Structure 1
Amino acid sequence: MKSKHTFRLSPEVARYLSDYAARKRVSQAELVEAALVSFLSPDGSERMEAAFSRRIDRVMRQIENLDRSVEIGNEALALFVRFWLTANPPLPDSAVAAAQAQGKERYDSFLEALMRRLGTAERLVR
Structure 2
Amino acid sequence: MKPRINVYLEYELLKKVEKFGAKTGLSKSGLVEIAVAQFLSPEGADKREAAIAKRLNQLTRQFGRLERDLAIQLEVTALYIQYYLTITPPIPIRDQKAARATGHERFENFLTHLGKRLSQGPSLSDKVVNDIKVREQDFFSIDLDDQNLEKKDD
Unaligned runs of 5+ in 1: none
**Matched residues in 1 for 2:78 and 2:108: separation?**
21
**Matched residues in 2 for 1:112 and 1:22: separation?**
54
Counterparts of 1:31-42 in structure 2, within 5 Å, are: 31-42=31-42
The residue type equivalent to 1:18 in the other structure is L
Residue 74 of structure 2 corresponds to 74
| Structure 2 SS opposite 1:117 | helix
> Does 2:106 match 1:106?
yes
Counterparts of 1:1-126 in structure 2, within 5 Å, are: 4-10=2-8, 13-22=9-18, 24=20, 26=22, 27-124=27-124, 125-126=126-127
Please tell me whether the aligned partners of residues 17 and 28 of structure 1 are also in contact (alpha carbons under 8 angstroms).
no
Unaligned runs of 5+ in 2: 128-154
Change (3 A) 1:82 1:14: closer
Change (3 A) 1:5 1:34: same
Which deviates the most, 24-33 or 114-123? Answer: 24-33
The residue type equivalent to 1:44 in the other structure is G
Please tell me whether the aligned partners of residues 17 and 28 of structure 2 are also in contact (alpha carbons under 8 angstroms).
yes
Compute the TM-score of the two structures, normalised by the length of structure 1: 0.85
State the 1:20 CA deviation: 1.8
Matched residues, number: 122
Change (3 A) 1:111 1:24: farther
Cα RMSD for the two superposed structures: 1.9
Which deviates the most, 101-110 or 116-125? Answer: 116-125
Please tell me whether the aligned partners of residues 21 and 31 of structure 2 are also in contact (alpha carbons under 8 angstroms).
no
**Matched residues in 2 for 1:5 and 1:120: separation?**
63
State the 1:70 CA deviation: 0.6
* Alignment deviations for residues 93-117 of structure 1 (CA, whole Å, 9 cap, x no partner): 0000000000000000000000001
